[in-house]
Amino acid sequence: MLPPTTSAVPQPLKSPQPLTEAPTEALKRIQWLLTDVDDTLTWQGTLPAQTLEALTQLKEVGVHVIAVTGACAGWCDQIAKLWPVHSVIGENGAFSMQKNRQGFHIESTLPMATMKHQQAQLLEALKELLRDYPDIDFANDQAFRYCDVAINIGQDRDAVDRDTCQELLARIRQLSIEGHKVKATQSSIHINVWIGEHSKQVTSEQLLLQQLSQESLPLEHITYIGDSLNDESMFAWLPMTFGVNNITRWLPQLRAKPSYITVNNGGYGFAELATLIVQAKQ
């Protein structure tokens, strides 16, 4: 596994600007667009036709899209094999998947057996903790995960209130499994819990270093779009980033914020950004 060679770029604590203020020349330089999936490519549990068309148009103008998500391995397998994307990073950085002419490839940050063992230990610890929260359970797709444990706080259910989520996150982060500190982050629908040093940013950087065969990355050629708290490391890492409109409610909790925000929510906002990039490229 390649060690990261670039560090997060500290971002000023300022309010994001409207997407229309993004400089055309900066958009034209984008070669790699990293994107969250839930409520960034999707909206209200569905994939808009506009999102799929936008992904296709970006590919046609030479922009490589990498989905970077907390979603389970089963969902990532489907995205990597069927969507017009370059590759997928799943479970907040636990692995990457790519389909190319040589076949279908999976790379994990730890050996699969190690991840599954740690995941089983996590499940037992979290089952005990969730006894205090009878209205909260694991995500329906937990059986399709390689590494993390996902707690459902907003997928196909009424959203869990903010204070309860914050309390649960704090308690989870106090856990230790076999001497390993437990990590947790919150997305728009899940609290994702895992053991290991991977993250969206760390694994994205490693994957790009492999793809570009370079010791450092031209960050002005890379951007990210997201919608939630677990995207903060990406906003801090890259000099120009984007948020779909539904990130607005999370802005007070984000120290590192996106540079620009779309008018529309979810996949419709992603399509807005894609249109501007394609126009700049043309």
CA–CA gap between residue 53 and residue 180 (Å, rounded) = 43
Question: Is 2 a residue whose pLDDT tops 70?
Answer: no
Q: Are residues 17 and 207 in contact, defined by beta-carbon separation less than 8 angstroms?
A: no
Task: Tell me what the pLDDT averaged over the chain comes to.
Answer: 93
Per-residue confidence (pLDDT) for residue 86, from 0 to 100: 97
Query: What is the per-residue pLDDT across 235-258, written as a single tens digit (0 to 9) for each?
Result: 999 999 999 999 999 999 999 999
CA–CA gap between residue 174 and residue 167 (Å, rounded) = 11
Per-residue confidence (pLDDT) for residue 35, from 0 to 100: 98
Per-residue confidence (pLDDT) for residue 13, from 0 to 100: 55
CATH number for the segment(s) 17-109+198-281: 3.40.50.1000
CA–CA gap between residue 161 and residue 172 (Å, rounded) = 17
For the chain, the domains span: 17-109+198-281, 112-195
Residue matched to tokens 């994939």: 47
Query: What is the per-residue pLDDT across 26-77, written as a single tens digit (0 to 9) for each?
Result: 999 999 999 999 999 999 999 999 999 999 999 999 999 999 999 999 999 9
Q: Are residues 43 and 272 in contact, defined by beta-carbon separation less than 8 angstroms?
A: no
- The average pLDDT across 219-229 equals 96
Question: Is 213 a residue whose pLDDT tops 90?
Answer: no
User: Which pLDDT band, with edges at 50, 70 and 90, does 4 fall under?
Assistant: very low
Question: Is 282 a residue whose pLDDT tops 80?
Answer: yes
User: Which pLDDT band, with edges at 50, 70 and 90, does 1 fall under?
Assistant: very low
Q: Which fold has domain 112-195?
A: Hypothetical Protein Ta0175; Chain: A, domain 2 (3.90.1070)
Name the strands in the sheet holding 241-243, side by side, starting at the edge strand that comes first in the sequence: 17-18, 260-261, 241-243, 222-226, 32-35, 64-68, 87-90, 95-100, 103-108
Of all helices (H) and strands (E), which one includes residue 125? helix 112-129
